[in-house]
Amino acid sequence: MNKCVFLDRDGVLNEDRVDYVYRIEDFIIPEGVVDGLRLLKEAGYMLIVITNQAGIARGLYSREDVMKCHQYLQDTCQNLIDDIYFCPHHPDYDSRSLLRKPDSLMLEKAIAKYTIDVNQSWMIGDALRDMEAGKKVGVRTVHITHALHEPPAGDQQAKNLLEASRYVVSVS
**Active site (catalytic) residues:** 8, 10
Instruction: Look up residue 160 and give its amino acid.
Output: N
* Beta strands across the sheet bearing 122-125: 83-87, 46-52, 4-7, 122-125, 140-144, 156-158
Please tell me the distance from the alpha carbon of residue 5 to that of residue 13, in angstroms, as a whole number: 13
Instruction: Look up residue 77 and give its amino acid.
Output: C
Phi, psi of 150 (to 5 degrees): -70, 145
Helix (H) or strand (E) run with residue 52 in it: strand 46-52
Contacts of 109 (CB under 8 A, 6+ apart): 85
- CA-derived radius of gyration, the chain: 15
Are 55 and 42 spatial neighbours (Cβ–Cβ below 8 Å)?
no
